[in-house]
Structure 1
Amino acid sequence: MWDYEGFVAKAQLYFHRAESAHSADDAAVTWLLLGLEFLMRSPLAKIHPTLLADPTGDSIMHAAGYPAAPRKDGALPQPKSITATTVRLRLSRIVPDFATVDEEAAYLLGLRNAELHTSSSALNISDHHWLPKFVRVTEVLCAHLHLDPDDVVGEELMRHGRGLAAEADKKLRHEVSERIRLAKAYFNSLPSAPPQEAPPAKMFPSWAWTMKDYEALKERITEKVPCPACGSDADETLELARATREQLIDDQIVRDVVYLATALACPGCNLSLTSNSEIAAADLEQQRTWTVETSIQDRYLEDYEPDYGND
């Protein structure tokens, strides 16, 4: 029901149905967006089908290969899968680059829902609005699954989408560049302020890693970074994207923690960047990675006191 090969095959089937539909027809877009959700569920299914099972009832047991318990009337309950929102959250933790396209995935799923569950014609929009987002999400997923997106979706559609994506990236880069230029001009027009000593470069977050931080990572942190317009200390908002699996190296438990840059605000020149894509367009790092370490002593032996002489 939730096997990896089945999801990839079904996604390809729906993408091929889109190829058969007229390119200007809403039906083609509908098939593509439906197929995209199957592709999004594929990385979770590849790890284990239980990642797709609803936590209530017997769905997890069913996904693990155990038959569902019959209801009082003798009927077998139908297993339920997790919502697309939960799929996105889990993909951000499993697929290294998915966090950078999560907003676009959310837009595409919202577009599909509006088309299928409302009276509006949500898909009666230009390809420029949705196709670049579709291509970016698809390429991230296919790269993780070691699949060729041209084979999965179709070479002609991907080529068209990449062209539109390049055009959209160029437009956004121009808009952000102009915003930076205006912010710099505003900063240069301000009365001269006493020179400030540049702060030392930081290699770690401003908040210290502690035992509790390691076990329950902060969802959002704020870091000081040089403003791309005026060079002042700007506040960069970083949101937790994922953490790698723990590894035991010597006597240290080690893992990498990845944060996604989602916004930047500079009090010096009033520059404001409000999304990860704008961060990228400003040539700033989209993701920040820190290596987190804790010793075995701190993790497991901190409160251990051997009970000698009581045997």
Structure 2
Amino acid sequence: MTKLPNPALQTEALYSKSQVYISKGLRAKLANDLEEYQLWASLALELLAKSSLSRVHPALVADPTHYQSLFAACGISVSPEIKTITAKTLFLRLSHISKSFDLRVREFCEQLALRRNSEIHSGESPFSGMKAEAWEMKYWHAIEVILEMQKRELDEWLGAEDSKAPKEILQNAERAVQMAVQTRIDHKREDFEKLHKNKVKREELIEQSKSIRYWDHWKKFEYSVDGYESSKCPSCSAFGILGGVLWHEEVSDEYDEDDPFTEYVEKTFSTEEFLCPTCGLHLAGTRELYVTDLPEEFCQTEEREREFEPEYGND
């Protein structure tokens, strides 16, 4: 008989508790208590995030330095004390489950958790005077991304009635992002054509961009990414640079018979940023990138020295 993990690490228990907390938050909002609203909302987000991570395996939520918690994640009770991972570790791990949980979403979640910790554990009042408009749009986007990991929707989490306002915020935000990105693309195209009115000159610049070197431009990226790839700019058609976060890697079946010490590793990167040095177009975050036809991911093959298992029992 399979033993269930401790409720502190169970997907459904964490999910249900997050529902209770966001319900408290929405009641606080109705009462115009925006500080309490943000506090409950931050707690609900972290619990919902843990439920999504626990869905992969409860051990991912347990503190790896606390063996009692690891046992609890496997359904074995060693101690009533359960410790879970930090918010920073939680959000980092979530970024490996969904590409939509990108660096921007992760950064927002981490900052919200820091404000929450400061609110609870110090004399500071980071929630004081902060209007809902300053964080609410990003909050509901993060919630939607986390719910998507569980194939769930706002209606299910909040209830149909309570989900109306957040849905409207999300729809407005999505339209705003789409319009802003499309306008930025159009403006960069117009600026490029005005600056280089000669069509032949524009074609020369586009041709030159084919030999673009990412190491000449990496400082212009907002985030520190793991890999780069060239891709055609949706604005000026020159070649720009995609920046991606390592999503997956596996050792290739291919090998060189003349070089048994080398293996080939196929790496997949989730695209999180795009920069075109030719026209200056800059897109950051999956929400902006998904508006365009730029690839959501790219792959590269890397050579590295093969690691051999040590021999045992031959001394």
**What TM-score comes out, normalization by structure 2 length?**
0.69
Of 105-114 and 13-22, more deviation after overlay is shown by 105-114
Q: State the identity as a percent.
A: 26
1:83 Cα deviation from its structure 2 partner = 0.7
Q: Does 1:106 align with 2:114?
A: no
Aligned partner of 2:226 in structure 1 is 220
Aligned partner of 1:142 in structure 2 is 147
1:104 Cα deviation from its structure 2 partner = 4.1
Aligned partner of 1:119 in structure 2 is 124
Identify which of 278, 281, 284 aligns with 1:271: 281
Distance 1:145 1:274 in 2: 25
1:42 Cα deviation from its structure 2 partner = 0.7
1:265 Cα deviation from its structure 2 partner = 1.9
Per-residue deviation, residues 72-123 of structure 1 (Å, max 9, x unmatched) = xxxx694421111111121122245433743443344344345434613426
1:62 Cα deviation from its structure 2 partner = 4.0
1:234 Cα deviation from its structure 2 partner = 0.9
8 Å contact from structure 2 (residues 272, 289) kept in 1: yes
1:194 Cα deviation from its structure 2 partner = 7.2
8 Å contact from structure 2 (residues 272, 285) kept in 1: yes
Aligned partner of 2:41 in structure 1 is 32
Aligned partner of 2:28 in structure 1 is 21
* Aligned residue identity for 1:87: L
Aligned CA distance change for structure 1 residues 280 and 115 (closer, same or farther; 3 Å): farther
8 Å contact from structure 1 (residues 260, 276) kept in 2: no
Distance 2:270 2:97 in 1: 14
* Partner SS state of residue 186, structure 2: helix
Tell me, which stretches of 5 or more residues in structure 1 are unaligned? Answer: 69-75, 207-218, 250-254, 293-298, 304-311
* Partner SS state of residue 147, structure 1: coil
Distance 1:284 1:126 in 2: 35
* Aligned residue identity for 1:186: D
Distance 1:133 1:46 in 2: 24
* Partner SS state of residue 180, structure 1: helix
Tell me, which stretches of 5 or more residues in structure 2 are unaligned? Answer: 1-7, 215-224, 254-264, 310-315
Aligned partner of 1:185 in structure 2 is 190
8 Å contact from structure 2 (residues 192, 236) kept in 1: yes
Q: Does 1:82 align with 2:85?
A: yes
Q: Does 1:133 align with 2:146?
A: no
Distance 2:175 2:151 in 1: 28
Per-residue deviation, residues 198-239 of structure 1 (Å, max 9, x unmatched) = 69x9xxxx9xxxxxxxxxxxx611111111221111112112
Distance 1:258 1:157 in 2: 39
Aligned partner of 2:178 in structure 1 is 173
How many residues align structurally?
Answer: 273
**What TM-score comes out, normalization by structure 1 length?**
0.70
Aligned CA distance change for structure 1 residues 174 and 43 (closer, same or farther; 3 Å): closer
1:184 Cα deviation from its structure 2 partner = 2.1
* Partner SS state of residue 54, structure 2: helix
Q: Does 1:158 align with 2:160?
A: no
Aligned partner of 1:238 in structure 2 is 244
Per-residue deviation, residues 247-289 of structure 1 (Å, max 9, x unmatched) = 999xxxxx996533222222212222233333234x2447215
* Partner SS state of residue 93, structure 1: coil
1:67 Cα deviation from its structure 2 partner = 4.8
8 Å contact from structure 1 (residues 224, 234) kept in 2: yes
Q: What is the Cα-based RMSD across aligned positions, in Å?
A: 4.0
Distance 1:51 1:139 in 2: 21
Distance 2:20 2:135 in 1: 20
